[in-house]
Structure 1
Amino acid sequence: MVNETLRPPGAARVTATLKPAAILALMCGAQFIITLDIAIVNVALPAIQADLGLAPSDLQWVVITYVLLLGGLLLLGGRAGDLLGRRRMLLLGLTLFAGASLTAGLAGSFAQLVASRAVQGIGAALAAPAALAVLVATFQEGAARNKALGVFGAAGGSAASFGVVVSGALTAGPGWQWIFFLNVPTVAVMLALIAKYVPADRNIHRGPFDAAGAVTVTAGLTAIVYAINRSVEYGWTSATTLGFLAIGLLSVASFVVIEYRTTAPLVPLSMFRRPTLNAANLVAALVYAAFFATIFQASLLMQQVLGYSALRTGVAYLAIAATSVVAAAGIAPTVLTRFGAGWTLVLAQAGTAAGLIWLARVPMHAAYWPDLFPGFLAVGMGVGLSLVSIQVAAFIGIPEQVSGLAGGMVETAREIGGALGTAIVAAVAIATARSLSAVPNESALTEGFRRGSLVAAGFSLVAVAIAITAVRRAERSAPATASIAEAVR
């Protein structure tokens, strides 16, 4: 123990300031690296395909598996943190994440890579809500917490855009394995610092948690995605496709029954009687369905059709990455304060749809500046504006006592929407290419990209319709102007 008479003046104040700052940096780091791994694999997909001998329909699972497990188990991870200790779940989740990153980098087969991505998703689902809970517990309610949450949100929001740029550099340099190996020393340092700076869990309240609900909804969504994937090979009327689709729908129905009957539901069904939250969740799913699918198929177009290197592909994505960050941090607060969340989402998703329709007309030998750049710019602007607007829209009329659950539902909708959107767009693109050529050539692959971009644009247009109707109606019926101004301040 330090003798108080020997403590330098102001030392106590410095220590008190340093600890919350260190916790903020660590929690933002955890959120950043978890979100980063959603996007970082995209640019590396052609290299992974070549090294492991994957079929075109296999590639989406390298992305989707992680996102499905993260989204499907996110609410269970939050509940586990409440019941078993948030610091404990944060350490466990990051440890699983790092270990699975190592096995993913060492993968010599499709099965090992997908299994590793699944464990990464489980670890992320445990760590992500725990990081947010630790952050909220560290900062007092008010200006300090709002500022910390703003920094935390910016860390997650910028990670997906940053990931595609980093992916290009690593894939072109030491190899695609390093998009996974990079996590291992990074997380090891974070674990040591978390053990040092984050206080041990206290006042843990033991109780039941809805593991059956989490398993059924995740299994159901996975089966539905697999059915979409198999429809390319066997058609929608085949026994395989219909069988997995039936399993998926039955599992989702079982989830609803479980949530109705259990004493500690993962998602109380009363939350689905909040129209504004439902609308925000649906918009979030559609926004990320379009965005994740676009990143997935544009990475393949640039490398397999246009002949870009991995590094050049990563640099090409700067148009999306930089624009989305500027839109979220610099433009969104002003637009939201003036027009509200509903009209901001309309503007954002209409712009995204326009950008995707622009991409749907790319020629086979597209040039970056006239053909790709305008579309990328519009997509980046739309995602950046939508990221902040969705968070504001989700909390219109939501009581404080369920605000944490509402935030978790929005995050879950984002991840699941991204997975389903990628599966649907990939299925359309692959089916289109195969219908034009038994062995897809540059012309067929380009046409597949065009059709996929139109489907993604459709997601954005549906989001526009929902924002005009449900979100705008909620804003008119609630005094949201003040809360919006406070939320983006």
Structure 2
Amino acid sequence: MQNPPDPKRWFALALLCVTGFMIILDASIVLVAVPSIERDLTFSTGGVQWVPSGYALMFGGLLLLGGRVSDLLGRRRVFLAGLVGFAASSLLCGLAWSGDALVLARGLQGIAAAVLAPSALSIVMTTFAGGPERNKALGIWGATSGVGGTAGSLIGGPVTDGLGWPWIFYINVPICVLVLVLAPLVLQDSRGPAQRTFDIAGAVTVTAGLIVLVYAVIEAPGSSAGRTAALALLSAALFAAFVLIEQRSSAPLVPLRLFRSRALVGGNLIGIAFGLGVFGLNILYTQYAQLVAGYSAIKYGLVSSVLAAAAVGGSMIGQHLVTRVGARPVAAVSLLLTGAGVTVMSRLTVDTGYFELAFWGLTIYGAGLGAGTVAGSIAALGEVAGNDAGVASGLQNACFQIGGAVGIAVISAVAVANTNGSTPAALTAGYRVGFAACWAFVAVGLVGAALLVSRKKAPQPVAAGQGAA
């Protein structure tokens, strides 16, 4: 007999979405404050890049492990522990007295986020039964995540100018405290199977593989081709070892049977594509606005708000359409919309006006981002069995975050390679090529959309007893 729905489930969703928004926002908000941070603290040459990258490295590298820990130890318990860690590390970031101290604190913040994000999303999945209601919940979650990825410039500029860069970290503390107080009242605890065996070898190899991969991508623009290739090969070897370990493990960290689901694989490819695109676009747009257009923090925030607003609208429409027509067409159309948006952005000039930039480029991209993020989340997670909620959530978050780290590195490298000088015209020429290169990320997402089955052939849940591929 099925348990009755939790009467407090929508309050729980609101609380979890606030947490998810905060985690994603923290990956992007710091980009606006990097110049102020570099001016106030002492960094080695190029060391300031580790303020955003240190967070991405630990967050992306430990997400799968964090998801599995929440399945085994209890999702609400792990969620609360992650909140405490995130609040403490955010406070340390704001109090940082040197560049090294800030980078260390950002790494700790990334570790806390890697525990917090998958446990929050797995609670969403276990709170709502599979079907339209879970789709709606995942749609709302995907919308807040998409907006969090675009709202960093809107919030970060005014906060940095008005209060100082430490406050982009301090604002996390009261949010964490509020959620800590309310969580025991509205969140139900759950966990996976009673078996407590932990796949240590699998955890070490996949975490090491992810960390080496993210590190290689972050360091690639300033490293030799040989060193980058060696790191990539090391990462590939670690992933191969992980697959062999999982095939032989009686309690695998990531059950390989999950990858039999075309919906899960396709949805995560869509998540990678949007992570690649939104972070890559944000880094170029931030540089264009500051170095070419000369926007103040307030004006920059106002222009960027169009992207966030369009993402909200797109996500609301996308969630409704996915329930009616399925994730596949919504994802495909959304990806093509983002492609149209970056095409408009690739036509920027030194004198491009607000209307051309904000209304056409950012609005079109934001609408596609909002709807597509929702479609990818529902596809990847809508049919996952409750016992695998944590690891599936960790996988989905890891795809988006690692996609973001790769997107920043790749698009920055493309723009620099096509920039000949430091004049506004030369910088704009490089940015235009970088925006156009975002079409490669759209192609990745379209491959994922092609893997999704039509609504008439909806995928069945991947049950815990099925064999691995």
Which stretch shows the higher mean deviation, 21-30 or 134-143? Answer: 134-143
* Residue 186 (structure 1) aligns with: 175
Long gaps (5+) in structure 1: 1-15, 481-489
User: What letter corresponds to residue 221 of structure 1 in structure 2?
Assistant: L
Equivalent residue number for residue 413 of structure 2: 427
Output aligned runs, 1:142-181, within 5 Å: 151-181=140-170
Counterpart of 1:245, as a letter, is A
**Bigger Cα displacement from structure 2, 46-55 vs 137-146:** 137-146
Residue 296 of structure 2 aligns to which amino acid in structure 1?
S
How far is 1:135 from its partner?
4.8
Aligned to 2:151, what secondary structure does the other structure show?
helix
Q: Is the contact made by 2:41 and 2:98 (CA closer than 8 Å) also made in structure 1? A: yes
Quote the Cα distance in structure 1 between the aligned partners of 2:91 and 2:157.
19
In 1, distance between residues paired with 2:319 and 2:116? 29
1:30 matched to 2:19 = yes
Q: 1:296 to 1:205 in 2, by over 3 A?
A: same
Residues 184, 218 of structure 1: CA spacing in aligned structure 2 closer, same or farther, 3 A cutoff? same
Q: Which amino acid aligns with 1:449?
A: Y
Q: Is the 8 A contact 1:352 1:379 kept in 2?
A: yes
Shift of 1:180: 0.4
Q: How does 1:249-398 map to 2 (within 5 A)?
A: 249-329=236-316, 331-336=317-322, 339-394=325-380
Measure, in 2, the Cα distance between the counterparts of 1:392 and 1:140: 13
Q: Does 2:454 align with 1:475?
A: yes
Does the 8 A contact of 2:76 with 2:190 survive in 1? yes
Deviations 1:54-76 (A, max 9, x none): 68965554334323433332232
| Conserved 8 A contact 1:281-1:410 | yes
Q: Percent of aligned pairs with the same residue?
A: 38
Letter in 2 for 1:470: L
> Which whole-Å CA distance do the structure 1 matches of 2:344 and 2:367 have between them?
14
Tell me, in whole angstroms, the C-alpha distance in 1 between the residues paired with 2:178 and 2:348.
Answer: 44
Any conservation in 2 of the 1:305–1:446 contact (CA below 8 Å)? yes
**Equivalence for 1:113:** 102
1:405-484 correspondence to structure 2 within 5 Å: 405-433=391-419, 436-437=420-421, 440-467=422-449, 469-471=450-452, 474-475=453-454, 478-479=457-458
Instruction: Judge conservation of contact 1:232–1:430 (CA < 8 Å) in 2.
Output: no
Counterparts of 1:342 and 1:112, CA distance in 2: 45
Shift of 1:101: 0.8
Tell me which of the two structures has the higher relative contact order, counting C-alpha pairs closer than 8 angstroms and 6 or more residues apart. 2
Q: CA deviation at 1:174?
A: 0.5
Is this contact kept in 2: 1:64–1:422, CA < 8 A? Answer: no
Alpha-carbon distance between aligned partners in 2 of 1:132 and 1:269, rounded to the nearest angstrom? 20
Task: Give the alignment's Cα RMSD to 1 decimal.
Answer: 3.3
Structure 1 CA distance for aligned equivalents of residues 207 and 85 of structure 2:
19
Distance in 1 between the 2:372 and 2:361 partners? 16
Of stretches 179-188 and 276-285 in structure 1, the one that deviates more from structure 2 is 276-285
Bigger mean CA offset, 20-29 vs 338-347: 20-29
What's the offset of the Cα at 1:179? 0.7
Partner Cα distance (2:320, 2:132) in 1? 19
Greater CA drift, 150-159 or 276-285:
150-159
Matches of 1:339 and 1:202, distance apart in 2: 33
CA deviations 1:312-365 (Å, max 9, x no partner) are 222111111001101111x22454356532222221111211211221221134
**Contact 1:396–1:475 (CA under 8 A) maintained in structure 2:** no
Mapped to 2, the partners of 1:241 and 1:324 lie a distance apart of: 35
Question: Matched residues in 2 for 1:396 and 1:25: separation?
Answer: 19
TM-score, with length taken from structure 2: 0.85
Structure exhibiting the larger radius of gyration computed from Cα positions: 1
DSSP 3-state at the match of 1:317: helix
Q: How does 1:119-138 map to 2 (within 5 A)?
A: 119-135=108-124
Asked if the contact 2:308–2:366 (Cα under 8 Å) also holds between the matched residues in 1, the reply is yes
Structure 1 residues 218, 75: closer, same or farther in 2, change over 3 A? closer
Stretch of structure 1 that moved more, 115-124 or 404-413: 404-413
Q: Which amino acid aligns with 1:116?
A: A
Find the aligned partners of 2:271 and 2:132 in 1 and give their Cα distance: 26
Give the one of 50, 65, 79 matched to 1:90.
79
* SS state at 2:31 partner: coil
Deviates more, 1:372-381 or 1:424-433: 424-433
SS at match of 1:355: helix
Task: Return closer, same or farther for 1:111/1:262 CA change in 2, 3 Å cut-off.
Answer: farther
Structure 2 CA distance for partners of 1:427 and 1:225, relative to 1, 3 Å? farther
Runs of 5+ unmatched residues, structure 2: 1-5, 460-469
Worse-superposed segment, 219-228 or 114-123: 219-228
Matched residue type, 1:305: V
